[in-house]
Every structure is written in structure tokens, then in C-alpha cells.
């Protein structure tokens, strides 16, 4: 019996996104990974020969590279890889209008809480349902400005030269074992090009979720932002709860050219059986500014370190990261900044909360190459521990080859403040409410950077998570 034909009646109270929608995949590959699967994916996507070769080379690299022996516990992942589906495509063509989107998928979005108003207002929505973009529209005025916001497959098909020029130059196949895997089996994701001097006011958003049991998700996103532009891309994910482990391994490549300003926001709330191993990297040119805003709440294990390679004079990189780990979760997150040009600056701010048997680890790199004179970097990590069984780690790497630079790193670990709790409870809040309030205050510096609807959702999630945190 195909797992995906299950219809759920699981209580929504238990877990907000704990539901499964009936859907009928058009094409579903066999579970497990093989050269045959990779060839099938490529053939099914009708790709040029070079992409098939790229995928096959990546598969070889994936097999050759050892599992990382650092970060989270990947011991059971090998088995998981034999069981998951590496490709799944729910529909065989892209939807152009909302009316054409199947009801059951609309229902999924409904439950995800994407507001009605937002759907109308949003200029472009790349919604990834299972392995491919099912809905993807672009406001007419943007098309006039020359903004491209397509599925990655259409990016390759419609803009082959632009695609080939940049694809895999930011995250090469062999960067790590999971970038190699993604390179072999990637499917879905976005292709974005913002032309020179264009400011995109409304964030570009891509919602996607995993829905079939044991299905891998290997989205690949390539974003090129030309000189003097400004834009914000938002990616949010959530997944239903299943008993067997699942796997997500995306690769995000971003090129930010001269004097451009770009922000990439991720709020990740995968179900708690998900391995989430993502490579996100941006190359930042002269005078440009790249900001990663990264929220990690879900998954069983997340290993994700958004990176800024500052290669042009005066480039700036900033990474704001929050992680929340509760029972059985490990958030191994952080950020990397590489200063390779003079007068580049960076800031990493990381806030983590560990609850129950949850573990949050900050892992980061700050590297300054010789010649990057006048570079400055500052890293601040705050870890909050809610229970005596909680764990937090901090693993920064600071490698400095330039003496005319100034680098600082600070981290503090603390228990949730008894005095704060006592004060709030004396004002009539329950202990649970008081704890939720303290936690909200702790992540406030990051929540306030989010668009309003995300900030609201984040607060709602924190409240849900804090339920039953006492006793």
C-alpha cells in the first residue's frame, strides 16, 4: 500500500502541522539511491546532457566522501538514505493561476496558515509541494522590471546561459557530502535574477513542505542579484509528523553583486523526525550587503551554517540566527564569514534555547585572509538553558591571517532567570506563561527583524512549544 494514500485524522491540537494530505504523485521513483534513479530524474526533467553528467559526477563524489564525523549524530542516516524516495513529482506541469491549484494542496496551505490576504498580495509565490514547484506566479510589474522568479527547472530551461555561468560556482559538488548528494538528485527550488538597479519591495516567498513519508527533499536555489539592486527572499518550511525518519538537504547559492543589498530569511519548522542538512552560501561583491536571517525550530537534526564570502572591498555580511531545540532535537547551526577583501565587515548574532533533552550547538567560522586590511568582525552567541537535561555547545573557528583587522567573539550561557520568572509570576502569570515570555524576550532582537506575519508565527510557535514545559 502506498504510504502517501493515508488520510489522517490525527488531532491538530497535538501538533499544529500534524496532518497528511491525500495526493496523487504523477511520478514516483523507487526508494534508495542509484545511478539509475539519477538518470531517471534527469531524463524526466528533460535536461541537457551536461546536467546529467554533472549529476552523475556528483553521485560519485557523494559515494566517495565520508560521513561527517562532527556535528550531529548521523549514525542512522545511512539506513534512512536506503529507504527514502529521491524524487517525487506531484504534477507534470507548472500551475499558472491559483484556480488551477488542486483543492487538496490549497487545503495544505490553508492549514499551514498562509493568510488569504497574503496570497493575493504576494507578488510571487513559489510553493514547493513534494519535489517540485506546483504554484509559481509573478506580478506583472516585476516581469516588466526584468525580475526572474522561476522554478529551478525552468531557470535551466529558459535561461541556460545565465544558469550555467553561476550554477555550482558558489557551492561546488564536493563542498561536503550533502552538497554532493543534492547535486546528484536536486529537484525543485527557485531560480531568481534581479536586474541592475531594481528594488523589489515585497519579499519573494517560497513555501514548501514535504508530504510523502520517507521522501527526500533536495531543493536547489540559485539567486543572482545584479548591481545596485535590493531584494528579500523568504523561505519557510514545515512538515507533518511521521514515525520514520525523513531527510532534507538543500543547496542555496547566492551571488550578490556590487552595491546590492539582499536578505534571505528561513524559518524552518520541519517535523521532529527530519534530518535537515543544508548548505547556504553567498558570494558578496564590492560594497554589497548580504543578510541571512535563519530560524531553526523543527527537525530532529539540523546542520546549517549560512555563509558570506566577502570578496569585494567594503562588502558586509550579517547572520542572525535563532535555534530552539527541545526533546530529541539537535540544532547544530551558526554561520560563516570569510573576509577576502579590504574593509569588509561582518556580524554574527546567534541565540539558542535548549529545553528538555534538546541540544543547541553554535558552530561558526570567521576567517580573514591576508590583505583584507581594516576588516572587522564581531560574533555574539547567547545560549539559554531551560532544564538540567538540556545541552548547549559553542564551536567557533577564528582564523586570522591579517594583522590590520579586528575580530571579536563572545559567548555566554545562562539558565532561565529565576528572578524574572518570579517577578512575572508575582504579576499573575502562570509559570508556563512566564517562561514563554522570557523566551520571547530572549529572541526579540531577531524576531523584530522578521516581517510581521513571521514574527507573529514565531511567537505562536514559541507559545506552542512552551506548553507543558513546566513540571
Based on the shown chain and the rule CB under 8 A, indicate whether residue 323 belongs to the binding site for another protein: no
Based on the shown chain and the rule CB under 8 A, indicate whether residue 173 belongs to the binding site for another protein: yes
CB 174 within 8 A of CB 59: no
Based on the shown chain and the rule CB under 8 A, indicate whether residue 338 belongs to the binding site for another protein: yes
Based on the shown chain and the rule CB under 8 A, indicate whether residue 408 belongs to the binding site for another protein: yes
Based on the shown chain and the rule CB under 8 A, indicate whether residue 405 belongs to the binding site for another protein: yes
CA 205/CA 121 separation, integer angstroms: 11
Cβ neighbours of 406 (radius 10 Å)? 12
Q: How far is CA 375 from CA 58, 337, 341, 343, in A?
A: 35, 11, 8, 5
Q: Which of 170, 315, 424, 434 binds another protein (CB under 8 A)?
A: 170
SS3 of residue 448 by DSSP: coil
Based on the shown chain and the rule CB under 8 A, indicate whether residue 374 belongs to the binding site for another protein: no
CB closer to another protein, 402 vs 457? 402
Q: CA nearest 392: which of 365, 411, 367?
A: 411
β 125-129/132-137 pair status: antiparallel
| Residues 6+ away with beta carbon under 8 Å from 174 | 61, 65, 180
**What per-residue string of b and e applies to 84-101 under the rule 16 or more CB within 10 Å gives b?**
bbbbbbbbeebbeeeeeb
Q: How many residues does the chain have?
A: 471
Based on the shown chain and the rule CB under 8 A, indicate whether residue 172 belongs to the binding site for another protein: yes
Residue 75 Cβ, how far from another protein at the closest point, in Å? 18
> Considering only 31-39, 93-101, 132-140, 378-386, which stretch makes contact with another protein by CB under 8 A?
378-386
Q: Which of 112, 383, 446, 450 binds another protein (CB under 8 A)?
A: 383
Q: Can you say whether residue 6 is alpha, beta or left, with left for phi > 0 and alpha for psi between -120 and 50 degrees?
A: beta
Based on the shown chain and the rule CB under 8 A, indicate whether residue 169 belongs to the binding site for another protein: yes
The 3-state secondary structure of 381-438 reads EEEEECCCCCEEEEEEEEEECCCCEEEEEEEEEEECCHHHHHHHHHCCCCHHHHHHHH
Q: Is 288 exposed, middle or buried (0-12, 13-18, 19+ CB in 10 A)?
A: buried
Residue 310 Cβ, how far from another protein at the closest point, in Å? 9
CB closer to another protein, 58 vs 215? 58
Rounded to a whole number of angstroms, the distance between the first and last alpha carbons of the chain is: 42
Based on the shown chain and the rule CB under 8 A, indicate whether residue 369 belongs to the binding site for another protein: yes
> Considering only 207-215, 390-398, 438-446, 456-464, which stretch makes contact with another protein by CB under 8 A?
390-398
Based on the shown chain and the rule CB under 8 A, indicate whether residue 421 belongs to the binding site for another protein: no
Q: Can you say whether residue 114 is alpha, beta or left, with left for phi > 0 and alpha for psi between -120 and 50 degrees?
A: beta
Instruction: Give the cell for residue 162.
Output: 545565465
Residue 304: strand pairing partners? 278, 333
Residue 53 Cβ, how far from another protein at the closest point, in Å? 10
CB closer to another protein, 287 vs 312? 312
- Per-residue contact string for residues 278-317; x = within reach of another protein by CB under 8 A: ---x-x-------------------------x-x------
Contact set for another protein, span 109-168 (CB under 8 A): 168
Q: Which of 118, 389, 427, 460 binds another protein (CB under 8 A)?
A: 389
Binding-site residue total for another protein (CB under 8 A)?
53
CB closer to another protein, 61 vs 302? 61
CA 254/CA 235 separation, integer angstroms: 14
> Considering only 77-85, 115-123, 288-296, 411-419, which stretch makes contact with another protein by CB under 8 A?
411-419
Q: Which of 105, 147, 171, 303 binds another protein (CB under 8 A)?
A: 171
Residue 416 Cβ, how far from another protein at the closest point, in Å? 8
> Considering only 123-131, 266-274, 385-393, 449-457, which stretch makes contact with another protein by CB under 8 A?
385-393
Cell 527526500 belongs to residue: 216
Question: Which residues contribute to the site for another protein (CB under 8 A)?
Answer: 61, 70, 168-176, 179-180, 281, 283, 309, 311, 338, 340, 369-370, 383, 385-415
Amino acid at each position: 500500500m502506498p504510504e502517501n494514500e493515508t488520510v489522517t485524522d490525527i488531532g491538530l491540537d497535538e501538533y499544529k502541522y500534524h496532518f497528511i494530505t491525500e495526493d496523487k504523485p504523477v511520478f514516483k521513483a523507487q526508494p534508495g539511491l542509484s545511478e539509475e534513479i539519477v538518470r531517471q530524474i534527469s531524463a524526466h526533467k528533460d535536461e541537457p546532457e551536461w546536467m546529467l553528467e554533472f549529476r552523475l559526477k556528483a553521485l560519485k563524489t557523494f559515494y566517495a566522501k565520508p560521513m561527517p564525523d562532527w556535528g550531529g549524530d548521523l549514525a542512522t542516516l545511512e539506513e534512512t538514505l536506503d529507504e527514502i524516495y529521491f524524487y517525487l513529482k506531484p504534477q507534470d506541469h507548472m500551475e499558472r493561476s491559483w484556480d488551477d491549484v488542486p483543492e487538496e494542496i490549497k487545503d495544505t496551505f490553508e492549514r499551514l496558515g498562509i493568510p488569504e490576504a497574503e496570497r493575493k498580495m504576494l507578488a510571487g509565490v513559489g510553493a514547493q509541494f513534494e519535489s517540485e514547484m506546483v504554484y509559481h506566479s509573478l506580478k506583472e510589474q516585476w516581469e516588466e522590471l526584468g525580475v526572474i522568479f522561476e522554478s529551478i527547472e525552468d531557470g535551466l530551461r529558459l535561461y541556460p546561459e545565465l544558469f550555467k555561468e553561476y550554477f555550482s560556482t558558489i557551492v561546488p559538488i564536493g563542498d561536503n557530502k550533502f552538497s554532493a548528494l543534492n547535486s546528484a538528485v536536486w529537484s525543485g527550488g527557485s531560480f531568481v535574477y534581479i536586474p541592475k538597479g531594481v528594488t523589489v519591495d515585497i519579499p519573494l516567498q517560497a513555501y514548501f513542505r514535504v508530504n510523502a513519508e520517507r521522501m527526500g527533499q533536495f531543493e536547489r536555489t540559485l539567486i543572482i542579484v545584479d548591481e545596485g539592486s535590493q531584494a528579500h527572499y523568504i523561505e519557510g518550511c514545515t512538515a507533518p509528523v511521521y514515525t520514520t525518519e525523513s531527510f532534507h538537504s538543500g543547496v542555496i547559492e547566492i551571488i550578490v553583486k556590487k552595491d546590492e543589498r539582499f536578505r534571505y530569511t528561513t524559518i524552518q519548522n520541519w517535523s521532529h523526525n527530519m534530518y535537515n542538512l543544508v548548505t547556504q552560501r553567498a558570494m558578496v561583491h564590492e560594497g554589497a550587503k548580504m543578510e541571512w536571517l535563519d530560524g531553526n525550530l523543527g527537525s530532529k537534526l539540523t546542520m546549517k551554517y549560512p555563509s558570506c564570502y566577502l570578496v569585494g572591498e567594503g562588502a558586509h555580511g550579517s547572520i542572525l540566527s535563532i535555534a530552539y531545540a527541545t526533546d530529541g532535537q539537535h540544532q547544530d547551526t551558526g554561520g560563516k564569514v570569510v573576509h577576502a577583501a579590504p574593509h569588509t565587515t561582518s556580524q554574527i548574532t546567534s541565540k539558542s534555547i535548549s529545553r528538555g533533552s534538546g541540544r543547541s550547538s553554535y558552530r561558526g567560522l570567521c576567517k580573514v585572509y591576508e590583505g583584507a586590511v581594516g576588516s572587522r568582525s564581531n560574533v555574539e552567541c547567547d545560549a539559554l538553558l531551560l532544564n538540567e537535561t538540556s545541552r548547549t555547545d559553542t564551536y567557533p573557528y577564528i582564523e586570522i591571517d591579517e594583522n590590520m583587522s579586528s575580530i571579536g567573539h563572545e559567548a555566554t550561557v545562562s539558565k532561565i532567570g529565576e528572578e524574572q520568572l518570579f517577578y512575572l509570576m508575582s504579576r499573575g502569570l502562570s509559570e508556563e506563561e512566564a517562561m514563554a515570555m522570557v523566551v520571547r524576550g530572549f529572541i526579540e532582537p531577531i524576531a523584530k527583524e522578521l516581517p510581521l506575519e513571521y514574527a507573529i508565527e514565531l511567537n505562536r510557535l514559541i507559545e506552542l512549544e512552551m506548553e507543558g514545559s513546566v513540571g
